[in-house]
């Protein structure tokens, strides 16, 4: 078994391969994948073997470097063209999380900066992928530090989907303040929405928090109003896949409804995300592309037992948009911002 050293994604430079924890096998099995080929990388992203906005960005950057290192091309323009083609294929794997396009854009900047020889470009692409990997750890740690003061008087928080360490390289975004609280000995419990249809809350958030010794309780998504109305949580923490210039935020489907409920019950609603999740070129939520996924995710139990009568239609948007005015604040590595303060992040 390959050693991920507690991380979700790693670049095995000596063997030139992308290492991933296969999240579709959790919580039952710990399987690490070692990938070289473009098709298997795209499949891993599409099938959510690696998932969560920051994690797919880093995985794609490492994957692109692996592909570039395998190239036997000696002509610099032809090499750059081939790497850009691979980047376009990876970018198309999932449309909503802007971190994927952002990380690949960072890699393409290496090509634009140029070099005389292909081996120089290969070395620089490897270095950039390693930098993006290391930066993700540091950025998430800072999100945790910046979010912690907001939870000073909290006994428990509610979260949706998985925006924890499995959704990034380490720490995660929405769960980073929870880990920071744990490190400081603050007792903070987490209520986790199970997150239909792919159960990222039940399978992944519960798994990673339980493993870390954080008290976690799973609820059906439709029990969120119960939890909020009973005052069981003092804040809601979620991650994000893309945040438009006006603060409208795409995150796992169900987040928008949760934000409406949180407003109704007067519970603060925090979005935790790195700067790379902000898409200032997108003015508002209507411009965010929403991934539509396979009907079988909704129409069957884990692709096995059918749930629906044959011929019944299914709607399966993977994300929804929470309006900025329902968000109390954005917790980033640069600080905490109210929705009307986001221009400072530009």
Contact residues: ligand MRU, CB under 6 A: 48, 51-54, 97, 161, 163, 167-168, 172-173, 200, 239-241, 251-252, 318
Cα dihedral value 80, 84, 87, 89, nearest 10: -130
On whether 94 is known to bind a ligand per the annotation, the reply is yes
Residues in the chain: 346
The response to whether 273 counts as a known ligand-binding position is no
Tell me the sheet residues that pair with 19.
10, 34
Task: List phi, psi (to 5°) of 278.
Answer: -85, 130
Nearer to ligand MRU, 122 or 277 (CB): 277
Q: Based on CB atoms, which residue is closest to ligand MRU, 1 or 315?
A: 315
* Closer residue to ligand MRU, CB minimum distance, 79 or 179: 179
Active site residue 325: no
C-alpha closest to that of 165 among 5, 337, 36: 5
Phi first, then psi: what are they for 321, rounded to 5°? -110, 125
Q: How far is the CB of 309 from ligand MRU (least distance, A)?
A: 27
Question: Which CB atom, from 66 or from 192, has the smaller least distance to ligand MRU?
Answer: 192
Distance in Å, CB of 48 to ligand MRU, minimum: 6
The Cα–Cα gap between 305 and 301 comes to 5
252 is in an annotated binding site: yes
- CA distance to 162, 191, 195, 313, 314, per residue, from 308 (Å): 26, 29, 19, 9, 9
Tokens for 326?
């329902």
Nearest-angstrom CA–CA distance, 41 and 212: 29
Min CB(163)–ligand MRU separation in Å:
4
* Residue nearest ligand MRU, Cβ-based: 239
In the chain the beta strands, taken as DSSP E runs, fall at 9-12, 17-21, 32-35, 156-159, 189-193, 216-219, 235-238, 242-244, 249-252, 269-272, 278-279, 300-301, 305-306, 319-322, 329-332, 335-337
Min separation Cβ 302 and ligand MRU, Å: 15
Closest to ligand MRU by CB, 55 vs 80, is 55
Cβ proximity to ligand MRU: between 165 and 263 the closer is: 165
Q: How far is the CB of 190 from ligand MRU (least distance, A)?
A: 14
Q: In what order do the strands lie in the sheet with 17-21?
A: 9-12, 17-21, 32-35
**221 vs 296: CA distance, rounded Å:** 19
Q: Is 128 annotated as ligand-binding?
A: no
**How many C-beta neighbours within 10 Å does residue 133 have?**
22
Please tell me which residue in 241, 248, 279, 320 is annotated as part of the active site: 241
Could you give the 3-state DSSP secondary structure of residue 11? strand
Instruction: For residues 219 and 2, give the distance between their C-alpha atoms in angstroms, rounded to a whole number.
Output: 34
Is 122 part of any known ligand binding site?
no
Q: Which residues pair with 322 in a beta bridge?
A: 249
Q: How far is the CB of 112 from ligand MRU (least distance, A)?
A: 28
**Residue numbers belonging to the annotated binding site for substrate:** 51-53, 94, 200, 251-252
Binding residues: 51-53, 94, 200, 251-252
Q: Which residues are catalytic?
A: 241
């Amino acid at each position: 078994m390959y050693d991920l050293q507690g991380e979700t994604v790693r670049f095995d430079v000596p063997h030139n391969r992308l290492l991933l924890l296969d999240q579709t096998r959790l919580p039952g099995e710990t399987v690490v994948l070692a990938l070289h080929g473009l098709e298997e990388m795209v499949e891993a992203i599409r099938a959510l073997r690696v998932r969560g906005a920051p994690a797919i960005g880093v995985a794609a950057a490492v994957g692109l470097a692996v592909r570039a290192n395998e190239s036997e091309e000696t002509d610099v323009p032809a090499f750059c063209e081939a790497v850009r083609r691979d980047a376009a294929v990876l970018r198309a794997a999932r449309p909503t999380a802007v971190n994927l396009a952002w990380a690949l854009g960072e890699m393409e900047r290496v090509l634009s900066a140029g070099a005389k020889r292909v081996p120089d470009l290969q070395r620089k692409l490897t270095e950039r992928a390693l930098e993006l990997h290391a930066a993700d750890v540091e950025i998430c740690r800072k999100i945790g530090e910046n979010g912690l003061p907001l939870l000073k008087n909290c006994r428990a928080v509610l979260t949706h989907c998985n925006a924890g360490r499995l959704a990034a390289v380490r720490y995660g975004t929405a769960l980073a303040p929870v880990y920071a609280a744990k490190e400081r000995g603050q007792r903070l419990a987490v209520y986790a929405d199970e997150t239909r249809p792919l159960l990222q809350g039940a399978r992944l958030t519960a798994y990673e928090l339980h493993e870390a010794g954080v008290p976690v309780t799973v609820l059906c998504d439709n029990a969120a109003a119960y939890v909020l109305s009973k005052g069981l949580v003092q804040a809601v923490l979620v991650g994000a896949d893309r945040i438009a210039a006006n603060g409208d935020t795409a995150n796992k489907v169900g987040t928008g409804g949760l934000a409406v409920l949180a407003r109704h019950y007067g519970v603060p609603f925090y979005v935790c995300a790195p700067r790379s999740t902000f898409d200032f070129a997108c003015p508002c939520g209507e411009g965010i592309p929403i991934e539509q996924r396979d009907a079988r995710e909704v129409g069957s139990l884990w692709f096995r037992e059918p749930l629906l009568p044959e011929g019944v239609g299914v709607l399966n948007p993977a994300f929804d948009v929470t309006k900025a005015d329902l968000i109390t604040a954005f917790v980033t590595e640069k600080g905490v911002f109210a929705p009307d303060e986001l221009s400072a992040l530009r």
